[in-house]
Amino acid sequence: MELNTIYYEDCISNISKRVPENSIDLIIADPPFGIKFDGKGAQYNRKSEFVVSGYTEITQANYLEFSRSWLKAIYPVLKETGSAYIISGWTNLKDMLIAIDEAGFITQNHIIWKYQFGVFTKRKYVTSHYHILFLVKNKKKYYFNKVDHYPEDVWEIKREYLPGKKKNSTKLPDQLVEKLIQYSSKPGDVVLDPFMGNGTTAVASIKLQRNYLGFEINPHAQEIIDSNIANAKTLKMD
């Protein structure tokens, strides 16, 4: 297994080829949400020229099967002492939970991530949160570093504004990913992200002295990810 590497290929069909079973300490996954999203719509208050093309969305009709496929693929590579965090919107949460159970994961918590804004609505409430599903393989063996004395399951973390910077669809806040890594891994551990996006998991892993592995199906994201990783390495050296 080649550490600190990102493969620009489909995670579902290639994880078993690239990553040995029982080798990963932590998985952080932010899969497509199945909401007809391309990141370029006017409702997201961003200029389309700063969003790279190539993002692949999943239809709602295929979301359960998609979730089953990738969760089944990542389960064997996670250690018995490992854990996983899956970021999910509410729209296809039912499908995600079904697929989680079928894959064999145990759900320890539903964390609510409350952010500062959502897409404007006229006839329903504005969605301003995501679910973060905390999963383990073995309830008695998983590693948990109790960073806070009283770790609640509702987190208020602001989304990041990145004006004038290119991105691959949306980007998770650095603070959020770093918090997940600090709670559920140790320095030197291996963190896998099957949907690497903008490389945030890799950047956080470098900062916190973890190793990373990732998959990203959008080849147009490589320039962004490479730049973000290079910046993280430079900051670490400083």
Residues 6 or more apart whose CB falls under 8 angstroms from that of 163 comprise: none
- Tell me, what's the pLDDT at 45? 46
CB atoms within 10 A of CB 3: 11
User: For 223, what's the count of Cα atoms within 13 Å in the CB-facing half-sphere?
Assistant: 9
What's the predicted TM-score (pTM) here? 0.89
Asked if 196 and 175 count as a contact pair (C-beta separation under 8 A), the reply is no
CA distance 171 to 41: 16
Tell me which H or E stretch contains 148: none
The pLDDT score that the predictor gives to residue 44 is 44
> The CATH number of the domain where 162 resides is what?
3.40.50.150
Q: pLDDT per position in the chain (238 positions), as tens? A: 899 999 999 999 999 999 999 999 999 999 987 765 444 444 444 445 545 655 567 888 899 999 999 999 999 999 999 999 999 999 999 999 999 999 999 999 999 999 988 788 899 999 999 999 999 999 999 999 999 999 999 999 998 876 556 655 678 999 999 999 999 999 999 999 999 999 999 999 999 999 999 999 999 899 999 999 999 998 877 6
Per-position DSSP letters for 20-53, written without gaps between them: -TT-EEEEEE----SSS--S-SGGG-S-GGGB-S
Structural domain of 85: 5-237
Separation of alpha carbons 58 and 32, rounded Å: 6
Domain count, the chain: 1
The upper half-sphere exposure of residue 78, i.e. CA atoms within 13 Å in the direction of its Cβ, equals 31
What separation in angstroms does the CA of 78 have from each of 16, 138, 178?
11, 11, 19
Closest CA to 28 of 62, 74, 79: 74
- Name the CA radius of gyration of the chain, rounded: 17
